[in-house]
Amino acid sequence: MSLSDHLRYLRALRGGVHTQTIRDAIGLEAVTPINHAETQYRPVRDPELVAKLAAYYERPLTEFQWHNARPRKYLTFYLARALKTKEVVSLTLRSGEQLAGKVDWWDLGSVGLWDENGRFLVVQRHAVVDWPGADSEWEDI
Amino acid sequence: MAQNLWELRQTKRMTVKELAGKSGVKADSIYAYENGEPIKMADLEKLAKALYVNKNEIKVQSDPVPKKKPAPPPKAATAPAAPKPAAPAAPQAKQPPAAKPTQTTSASEGQLDYLRVLFAKLNEDETAVTERLGKPLEELTFPEARQLLNTYHKAYTARQAQRPPDTRRKRGHLPEVVDDFEIEYLQTQQEAGTVITFTLFDKTEFTGRIIGFSPYNITIQQADESEVTIQKLALAYYTAAKAAA
């Protein structure tokens, strides 16, 4: 799961607290960096912001750094490659559940998979926390 | 009935650039398609989606765009052009766009636009080209313009192929922005009345038939006819239920 998705998830857990409230709490002048951090497809390049957000959500910085190393673009790379090579993908969800299957399609928000039992699954991309080679096998696309 | 690509685009009040942005099909390709090149199936789907029409409403091979203004009369000094009808014909009825180009049909606006795009890409000076041709672009006939387009298009393609790999324009694993597979899937399942099981992040499950959805949520009707709206942010995955209800 990307840091962007993780941030949205944590904010939802806090009852959807407004980003302006977070801005004031962490001492930023503008709300834009927080909005960008929640929506961007590439890693958040500002370590200070990552640290401030981790402190705000009372989470270990290493957890945020771990998610930041798995941005949405890298998952896209993994899914696109699997679609091309027909390899079986293995996706670990936030719930801890592990799903595997062949990619039938993928788009901005989800991926369609055929699992080994012939079930067709539509997995939400924001639910995927990890996948093989998530932080090492990718190409900036 | 199928319409020319350029007709549909103009009906939707879109420029080629806008259509390219919306569909993910290159502007160069759209210019080429509007000038009679057969549309590739993959592009046809994207263009249909961007224009909000069915694929079969677009002609796979468009007729040329009719010129808005008549071509200027040939200059006295220029070499004799192709023989023209001896007597001026009676005022011609406006030619339908579907008319096949003949030897004497003037170059279409689309052809000229695309030629100028290629000139810009190849750093070709239009004045130098017209000097070589011996007449302005507006005086080209349809076949002459097509010939010229072929020549410049080949030159452009050859130049692109010679560029070192690291400087070639990379197309990412897109089009994320134009593919809506999930929406299509949900639409199909809703129409088929498939019973689907939705699993949330906390492993809670809901089973029912889809009765509505948006990019952010899905509403289902459960077996007891109660309705539940599932926020996608809380959703992990879903699949057709094992046994149909």
| pLDDT tens-place string over residues B224-242 | 999 999 999 899 999 998 6
Q: If pLDDT is split at 50, 70 and 90, which confidence band does B85 have?
A: very low
Cis peptide bond prior to B97, omega within 30° of 0: no
| pLDDT tens-place string over residues B42-84 | 898 889 888 888 888 888 888 877 765 555 544 444 433 443 4
Chain A touched by B216 (CB under 8 Å): no
* Structural domains in chain B plus CATH codes: 5-57 (1.10.260.40), 109-167 (no CATH), 192-240 (2.30.30.100)
Please tell me the distance in Å from A27's CA to the nearest CA on chain B. Answer: 28
| B230 DSSP β-pair partners | B218
C-beta atoms of B240 and A120 within 8 A: yes
Alpha-carbon span B160 to B154, nearest angstrom: 10
3-state helix, strand, coil in chain A (%, to 5): 45, 20, 35
Chain A touched by B227 (CB under 8 Å): no
Answer CATH for A72-130 from 3.40.50.720, 2.40.128.130, 1.10.3720.10, 2.30.30.100: 2.30.30.100
Q: Contact at 8 Å (CB) between A103 and A113?
A: yes
ipTM of the complex: 0.88
Please say if the pLDDT value at position B163 is more than 90: no
- Residue with structure tokens 């005022």? B91
Alpha-carbon span B109 to B71, nearest angstrom: 11
A3-68 and A72-130 share one fold: no
Which residue stretches of chain A have pLDDT < 70? 137-141
Please say if the pLDDT value at position B191 is more than 70: yes
Q: Residue B206: exposed, middle, or buried by beta-carbon count in 10 A (0-12, 13-18, 19+)?
A: middle
Q: Angle A108-A92-A123 (CA atoms, 0-180°, nearest 5)?
A: 35
Position A105 scores a pLDDT of 92
Please tell me the distance in Å from B7's CA to the nearest CA on chain A. Answer: 30
Close Cβ partners of B140 (under 8 Å, ≥ 6 residues apart) = B106, B107, B111, B112, B133, B148
Angle, nearest 10°, between helix axes A19-26 and A47-56? 100
CA–centroid distance for B42 within its chain: 10
Q: Contact at 8 Å (CB) between B76 and B62?
A: no
Q: Domain segments of chain A: what residues?
A: 3-68, 72-130
| A88 DSSP β-pair partners | A102
Domain A3-68 classification at class level: mainly alpha
Chain A touched by B181 (CB under 8 Å): yes
Q: What percent of chain A has pLDDT over 90?
A: 67
Interface test with A, best of B45, B166, B173, B195 (most A CBs within 10 A): B173
Q: Residue B223: exposed, middle, or buried by beta-carbon count in 10 A (0-12, 13-18, 19+)?
A: exposed
Interface test with A, best of B203, B216, B237, B238 (most A CBs within 10 A): B237
Q: Contact at 8 Å (CB) between A113 and A90?
A: no
φ/ψ of B177, rounded to 5, equals -75, -20
Sheet holding A88-93, edge to edge: A128-130, A88-93, A98-106, A110-114, A120-124, B235-240, B195-200, B205-213, B217-221, B227-231
